[in-house]
Amino acid sequence: MSGSVVGGAAAWLADPARWSGEAGIPARLWEHVWVSGVSVLVAAAVALPVALVLGHLGRGGALASAVANLGRAVPTLAVLVILVLSPAPFGIANVVTCTVVALVLFAIPPILTNAYAGIRAVDADLVEAARGMGLTGPQVLFRVELPLAVPLVVAGLRIATAQVIATATIAAFVAGPGLGRFISAGFGNQDTPQLIGGAFLVATFAVLVEVAFQVLQRRLTPSRSSRTGLVEDVGAAAVDTRQPGLTGSL
């Protein structure tokens, strides 16, 4: 039985008709990429500035924790159904827009909490040394804290992206776009090959994105030597800005 199921899914994937048209695999994949990418970008645009500022100021830990707990508690599918079915002005007519809004709300917590934790995890001695060299608050944030917090920031984006890709699949059950349409259609039509084939496509897409983020995270993680020389480089830059003729009197 399992061999026939796998063979049926392989045949479904190999069918040339699945790879063309508005309802084909490339079109559905592009919908999934677009919805997921836009959702993560919007969530990052909202969450990262807040997390960086609160982490730099050393405040907002309770807020970050509350947002994270709220994000875990509220089911995204329920939010999506409410957005789709609610009457105007609370409802949103476009299902794609509803999907993006629900996914943004779902993606904000991991991005916010990881970025905040990354800034707060920076060695306080490094921050004090940078301030002692005359750097302003924004300079400390962007030249010292953020470079060292990048691995955790990327980890938050990785977690959010993985969750968004998975949840966007579920959104297809409320007529949302993406690869999940194959899974929902497979359920509705009792078409096991289509169901398994759609699940395979979603899993492959998620794994490839996860691997890409893992590689990016490793490359952006500063080595011990770069951590040691970071404040020295920043200090040299701070001294240069004090040279006459460059910035005027301070």
Q: What is the pLDDT of residues 35-56, one digit of tens each?
A: 999 999 999 999 999 999 998 8
Q: Of 26-30, 95-99, 227-231, where does the model show the most confidence?
A: 26-30
| Model confidence pLDDT, tens digit, residues 78-116 | 777 777 666 554 444 577 888 888 889 889 999 999 999
Specify the higher pLDDT residue, 58 or 179: 179
Structural domains of the chain, with CATH: 2-239 (1.10.3720.10)
What tokens were used for 248? 């005027």
Percent helix, percent strand, percent coil in the chain, to nearest 5: 80, 0, 20
CA angle 70, 82, 161 (to 5 degrees): 50
What is the per-residue DSSP string for 154-207? HHHHHHHHHHHHHHHHHHGGGT--STHHHHHHHHHHT-HHHHHHHHHHHHHHHH
Residue type at 129? A
b/e burial code for range 115-126 (CB count within 10 A of at least 16 → b): bbbbbbebeeeb
| Model confidence pLDDT, tens digit, residues 190-219 | 888 999 999 999 999 999 999 999 898 888
| Model confidence pLDDT, tens digit, residues 133-147 | 888 888 888 888 888
